[in-house]
Each structure stands twice: as C-alpha cells, then as structure tokens.
Chain A
Amino acid sequence: MATRCQFENSNDVGVFAKLTNAYCICALGGAENFYSVFEAELSDHIPVIKSSVAGTRLVGRLTVGNRNGLLLPNTTSDQELTHIRNCLPDEVVVQRIDERLSALGNCIVCNDYVALIHPDIDRETEEIVADVLGVEVFRQTVAGNVLVGSYCAFTNQGGLVHPKTSIEDLDELSSLLQIPLVAGTVNRGSDVIGAGLVANDWAAFCGLDTTSTELSVIESVFKLRDAQPMNIINDLRASLIDTMA
C-alpha cells in the first residue's frame, strides 16, 4: 500500500524517515501526524522509532540500512547511537562508521541482498557495508549521477530510478540488482527519488504532491497492490501446497 504524507509541509519524506523490512526510523520534531501515519501502517509488524542523527532530522539521508543492519555516520552522537541500538531488534547490527562522505543515505542504497554505492566511497566502508548489511556491493552511478541513494530507491521487489536513466543503464542495473526497475518521478515531477519516497516490501510512503499516476507506478513496481505482510506468507504457502499436490 502506498501512502501519501508530509513532514512539516515538505514532500520529501525520504529525507526524514528510513524504512526497511525490519524497522522504521522517523525524525524527531515535526507534527505527530507524520509519525502516526507511519505507525498506523507499520507498527503492527515492525518497530517504528523516533530519533535524530547528528542532531539533525535528516535520518533518511544520513543513514542506510536493511533488515540485517544499520549504518550511521561518524557525526552521530553517542546518545543517539545508544537510543537507536536499544530500540531496534537485536538481530539488527547498528554500527557507526567513519566515512568522509557522511551522508550515507545519499551515497549508498540497498535492499536485503544487494547494494549500490557512490563510486568514491572508501574500500573500508565498502567492506563494512558488505559485512554489516550482508549484501553484495556494486559501485555504480544512476543516470550519470554519483549520488545513487538520492536518485533511486529499491526494495526486494522492485525499484524506481531517475527519470532520465537510459534504457541501457536500466537494463544493466536491473540485471545487477536482479529486480525489475522503472524510471519515473515522485512528488509531481521531482527526480530525486530517494528523497521523495521510502519503501519496503509491503509499504511505501511518498509526498502529498505525488500524482495518482506516479502512485500507481510506485505501487506496481514495488509490488504493493495486494501486498500485506501476511499475504507474502500466504502466497508462499499456496505455492508450496500446489507443488505437493
């Protein structure tokens, strides 16, 4: 289910929230409205926590994570680190890393299996990403842009990339990531996909300005139409029984 929301009149939901299959982090401050939209959709299944990172509300752009782990920039304070560690499930490894490019959310984008990183990221960081997040890492650009985290968003089901991505690039990325990709926009024509929306395997949130066309593209590429967490399990069960019969 794709939902529209706003953070204090800003449509850039992906700046103020980080959503994965195992947890969701929202920015502090801002109206309770924002937080409650996330809670309503997600809190039955995963913890939804509020935190700041490096004293700012830009949790979506400074952090990167998936169900295996969460990476925080070196500017994160100790209290924030402790708070996040306490709130997240134990399976999620929370680590603070030293990386010159500290806006991790802009430089790294990942799902539970694969990650794309900014071409200039340190080798060390690349190894930590592969280790902590348990993913295969590729250095790539999206539509000629090095900020992969800003210009694309993907989950285990599918992904949305910058509208000016060429067909060749789309095919290349799609085969790297092994998921269907679509070039499109969010928030009524904004090409900064990563900042404009957050998504996991069963839910997505985008800005209020998103048109219904954009929303239906998002729902179809991320396979959200009938996706409820239970549905995923049920579908699996149905196909298993089919095989046995």
Chain B
Amino acid sequence: MPKRKAEVQLKREEEEVQPGDCVEDDNNDKSASEGDDESAGEGSDEGESDEDEDSSEGESDGSDSDDDSCPEASSSEAESEDDEEGEAYKEVNVQFEFFDPQERDFLGLKALLNTYLDGQQYDCSGLVDAIIRQTAVGTVVKSSEEDDPFAVLTAFNTCRGPAAGSPWLKQLREYLTARCPDSATRDKLCEAFSGPGTGLLVSERLINCPPQLAPPLMQMLTEEVDGAANDEDYPQEERREFTFKRYLHVTRVYTDPLEEQERHEEGQHAAGGSTGAPGSSRARPGRGHKGDEGKEDLIVYVRPEDEYLHQVCSWSFTFPVEGRPVAKGDLRPLRAVMCVEAGRVREAREMMDLVLGNMMADGGGNAAAAGGGKILAEVAAAAGRAGGKGDLGTGGKGKDAPGSKGAGKGSGKGR
C-alpha cells in the first residue's frame, strides 16, 4: 500500500557563503544551515547567530539573484531578501514528504512527543504506539522515508476506539484539567473529553518548521477523517469513531512580555471586542491565566493553523509552560487548548489557505503535489479497506544512525 502521500517543494532561505571564506571555517554554519531538514530548527538558529560573525568578516555581497532556476518549485515563498545586516539570502530547495505514521517512525515520534506534557512524565510510548496503530488518520512529515519525522498531526476519538481508555489520554486529561484557569473552563474541558464525537488533535513539530507545511497537513487530516467517517468499506463502529463533532486542539503558542508591558503602560484595557484585523496576531479575549479583568492575552502564534482555529473556536484557554528558563526579552512559551466545532474547521482552513497558499490544493505547477492529491485519495480509500490495526513488525530493524542523531537534535528545538 503506498505510504507516501505527497511531496512538497519549498524554498528555504539561507545565508550566502562569503566569497573569501574557506570551506572549513564555515563548516559549522554551512552544514547546519543546509537544507538538512532534521535540524531545520537548528539550522536557522545557527544561521542567525553566524550572521554577526560573517558581517564583521567583510563586505557582504549585496547583490542577490532571484533564484528561479528550479522549475518544480511553483508555489514557493518570496524571493531572496536582505536581512537587517544587509546579508544576502540564497534560496535552497527543500523537499518535504508526507507519510502515514509507520513503525520505523517510532523513535523519531517519541523524540518529538516526549515533552508533550511539558516535561512531565507520561506514557509517551503508548501515545506513539497509538499514532502508529491508527492507520486511517494521521500524517507525519519527513524529508525522506528513512529520516526522522519533524512534524506529526493526527486525531484521536477521546471516548471511542482503542485510544479511549489509554493511560496517556488520562494523563493528558489530568494535566490539562489541572491547569484550567477556572471551573467553568474545567467543566467544558471535561465535557469535551468525555463527550462523544470529540477528536483530540495531537500536533507537534520542530521549531521553525516552515508555515507552508500547515495547510497540506490540515487538508490531509480533514480528508482522512472524512474518508474514515464515510467510507462504506469501513465497519460501522470504526466509522463512528471518526465522526467528529468537535476538535480539541492542544498546541504551543507564545506570549510577548515586552509588548504586553507596553500595552499595559499605555493603559490599554480593551475589554472584549477584537482589536486586530483578521490575520493579525492579537488574540481574541481568551481566558487568560493572568486574571486581569478585561485584559487581552497577547498571543503570538508560531503555527499558522493555530491562529485561524483560534478565531473560529468555541472556547479556549492558555497556560504557561513551567520550568523552562526564558531569556529576558524572549517570547514566553504557553500551551493553548481550544475547542473547535467540526463545521468551522473548513472556515479556518480556507482563511489559512488564502494567506499561505496550499501546496497540495494548488492546481498549477507542482506535478508531485497534484499527484500527491491523487495518492492521498488512494491511500485514504486503501486505508479504509485495510482497516484494523497496523502491523508493529518485529522491531528488529534498525534506523540510520544519522537519522536518530537528527531526531535527538531536533527534539531539543521542538519544545
């Protein structure tokens, strides 16, 4: 059964090597900021820290070429731009592939999801196991089949199906309920967890994953869920499992303490009402953990789908991530929990596709993407027919050593 779902070509911006530099010197930054997707997060971080070094070494090469030499990369993002130091960026083509979660992804997914409860120990193996066993719904993003995943998105029914009674789900529920800001939210959360037709979205990705990954991921999720819910080859019981009325989305966002301080000083107490234009990163009044009456939580979204889902959600709350030291002036990490009615997910997705473009849905250009759409349909149908639990295999096969190292590096950035 074809496991590969789609290929997406993206352009990534990368620092240009100064003409005078010898290769050894740049060994670190070059190899780090190369299109090595496993350390995508690390690459861009290192790239930034090395900018200062490079600019002090000599004049920067001011001219940049709009690198359109790659015909396949159709819906790529903007051309080269200069950063604040006047360094030129060169574009690098990066290929992301979307797969069904497989047994070989176990260790990589475990690395991604180890901190799902923000450092608290929980049954991570159980969660990864559940992701792998659920063949009908779930997508993993890797740069090739052998590599480690750097993004995962899947949905579980919280009260039906194999995931329902699992220890990890209980632990997650306890973790979230303990951090609800008030009892009303707690009741809503408990109701969402125990009520029928709730899909828990498990979504994790490395820091600095390109935002263009989100629309195809969301599209695949909705298509797979719809497919599983409606495919007649599926037994009735399993179809009901994927008939979601609402989604519970647990994700990571940030808040900007400096800006909050500024707004506080300006005496802004915008109570209720939305202040920002759509697409801005101001949140609507969430149940803030600060407890200030009428004060909006300022939320910075790093995952594009969060912003749009938050706009259409029925309720939400955020809580701070404890125990992580944050440098002064840095964004503070939060977790956000929101409940989105199933019917409104389409709205959110449409808004997101307008802003980011959806590589999978775009008709023109990328043949792989177009083909990917077809492959996806085949996969969904085949998954429907196959049904049942995935084969865990013997676990006797090893993984590439570089792959596992990449996962190790990546997980550090993924928090």
Contact = CB atoms under 8 A, between A and B. Distances in A.
B395 interface: yes
B396 interface: yes
B399 A191 contact: yes
A136 interface: no
Contacts of A187: 107
Contacts of A143: 401
A145 B401 contact: yes
A214 interface: yes
Contacts of A189: 103-104, 106-107, 395-399
Contacts of B107: 187-190
B125 A211 contact: no
B172 to A, nearest CB: 15
Interface in A196-243: 208-209, 211, 213-214, 217
A162 B402 CA distance: 13
Contacts of A190: 107, 398-399, 404
Interface string B91-113: 00000000000011011001000
Contacts, number: 59
Looking at A143, A190, A208, A217, the one whose CB has the most chain B CB atoms below 10 A away is A190
Q: Is the interface of B mostly helix, strand, loop or mixed?
A: loop
B178 to A, nearest CB: 19
A27 to B, nearest CB: 16
Contacts of A185: 395-398
A15 interface: no
> Which label, helix, strand, loop or mixed, suits the secondary structure of the A interface?
loop
Interface string B203-246: 00000000000000000000000000000000000000000000
Nearest to B121: A9
A9 to B, nearest CB: 4
Contacts of B404: 190-192
Interface in B4-33: none
Interface centre among B103, B122, B124, B401 (most CB of A within 10 A): B401
B140 to A, nearest CB: 15
Contacts of B280: none
A197 to B, nearest CB: 14
A163 B397 contact: yes
Nearest to B120: A9
A162 B398 contact: yes
A45 interface: no
A26 B395 CA distance: 28
A164 interface: yes
A208 B106 CA distance: 14
Chain B, interface size: which category?
20 to 34
Contacts of B69: none
Contact of A214 (B114, B396, B399): B396
Contact of B395 (A145, A151, A214): A214
Contacts of A8: 121
Contacts of B104: 189
B97 to A, nearest CB: 20
Contact of B396 (A9, A145, A151, A184): A184
Contact of A213 (B106, B394, B401): B394
A143 B125 CA distance: 28
Contacts of B121: 8-9
Interface string B391-410: 01011111111001000000
A191 B398 contact: yes
A119 to B, nearest CB: 17
Interface in B364-415: 392, 394-401, 404
A191 B396 CA distance: 10
Contacts of A213: 394-396
B115 to A, nearest CB: 11
Interface in B43-89: none
B175 to A, nearest CB: 14
Contacts of B110: 209
A108 to B, nearest CB: 19
A191 B404 CA distance: 8
A191 B401 contact: yes
A162 B121 CA distance: 29
Nearest to A184: B396
A211 B107 CA distance: 13
Nearest to B114: A9
Interface in A138-182: 143, 145, 151, 162-164
Contacts of B396: 163, 184-185, 189, 211, 213-214, 217
Nearest to B104: A189
Contacts of A162: 398, 401
Contacts of A214: 395-396
B125 A208 contact: yes
Interface of B: 103-104, 106-107, 110, 114, 121-122, 124-125, 392, 394-401, 404
5 contacts: A162-B401, A187-B107, A188-B107, A189-B106, A214-B395
Given A184-B396, A189-B397, 16 more contacts: A8-B121, A143-B401, A162-B401, A163-B398, A188-B395, A189-B103, A189-B104, A189-B107, A190-B399, A191-B399, A191-B401, A211-B392, A213-B395, A213-B396, A214-B395, A217-B396
Top 6 A-B pairs ranked by shortest CB distance? A163-B398, A211-B395, A9-B121, A191-B398, A213-B394, A185-B398
